[in-house]
A = this chain, B = another copy of it.
Amino acid sequence: MVKKLIGIDVGGTSVKFAVVSTKGEIEEKWSIKTNISDAGSHIVGDIAYSLNEKLAELKLSKSDITGIGMGTPGSINYTDGTVVNAFNLNWTTVQPISKSLQALTGLPVFLDNDANVAALGEAWKGAGGGEPDVVFVTLGTGVGGGVIANNRIVRGVAGAGGEIGHVTVARENGFACTCGKSGCLETIASATGVMHVARHKAPTSKANSKLRDDVLLNNRVSAKDVFDAAKGYDPFAEEVVAYVSSALGFALSHIGNILNPACIVIGGGVSAAGDILLDPVRDEFEKNVFSTVKHSTKISLATLGNDAGMIGAASLVLTEV
């Protein structure tokens, strides 16, 4: 029998599991709630219990599985298989995850950062179409990313490879970022960023706009409100989207010129806006990349949604074995 892979995506709310074929197909998936109480000390035990139970149910023995790949938030030490600073799991001290999970399951465990494994997933089975050079940018509460070059994650010397959210886009008068800098892409193109841009532009905009009136009245607006209004041709929403997409397209142009990936995949909640965001992003990208890059690097929406992490995590087993 061809062996199978286990992919696990650990998040603050749930832990997602999949049995994945060596071709990257999900054969079975399930999830459990993440129990972050007692400094996250139950998480690994819960994972092992659920996995062992499911394998028994599926009549799979340990010898049918090559290994477990797992994506978690936080800072990973790849050599030791440890995680630290995963605040939404309450893992604030160094956690020997690989060792513990290996002991509880009898299977080899490979660990990586959640953004990196999502990038691997999209590169392998999603919008990246199996290309060796793919960059994944996720526009959520923050802006994260993962860089795949020559089929491998680029972690960088201190694990900060893919910190695309902190590329400076607004060199002058940028918004303050949680990272301590200002003008970071994340302050503009994340869900929070879109809201900031709308609030900042509302008082001085000349647009005759219901959205602008709402923002001025309530000082509240979501990224979704902005994109929905832009789809209805609200002129203020169009201003905000133009600013956000120009910033994003410009930052992506740096990725294009430095790496010339086959594909830059855009995921995360904000990417649900679709073409109203992506079309102007592509325009700004094309204006700022070398001509070879313009003709060879695509910008695409992510296609795997929540499955990206599990599939990418599973692929760690293949790359690392």
A273-310 interface code vs B (CB 8 A; 1 in, 0 out) = 00000000000000111111101110000000000000
How many copies are assembled? 2
B257 in contact with A167 (CB, 8 Å)? yes
| CB <8 Å contact, B295 and A164 | no
> Chain B residues with Cβ under 8 A from A253's Cβ?
167-168
Q: Which residues of B contact A133 (CB under 8 A)?
A: 154, 156-157, 161
9-residue interface stretch from A44-52, A213-221, A227-235, A259-267:
A259-267
Segment 139-159 of A: residues with Cβ below 8 Å from B: 145, 147, 149-150, 152, 154-159
List the B residue with the shortest CB-CB distance to A171: B250
Given contacts A133-B154, A258-B258, contact A163 B250 (CB under 8 A): no
Taking CB atoms, residues of chain B closer than 8 Å to A239 are none
Interface of A is mostly: loop
40-79 of chain A: CB within 8 A of chain B? none
State whether A291 touches B179 (Cβ < 8 A).
yes
Q: Is A131's CB within 8 Å of the partner chain B? A: yes
With an 8 Å Cβ cutoff, the count of chain A residues facing the other chain is: 45
Residue A166 lies at the interface, judged by CB distance under 8 Å to chain B = yes
List residues of chain B with CB within 8 A of the CB of A289. 166
**Residue contacts A-B, CB under 8 angstroms, 29 given:** A145-B258, A149-B150, A149-B152, A149-B154, A150-B150, A150-B154, A156-B259, A156-B260, A157-B260, A157-B261, A158-B297, A159-B292, A160-B257, A160-B292, A160-B296, A162-B258, A163-B260, A163-B290, A163-B292, A163-B293, A166-B257, A166-B289, A166-B290, A167-B253, A167-B254, A168-B253, A168-B288, A180-B291, A258-B258
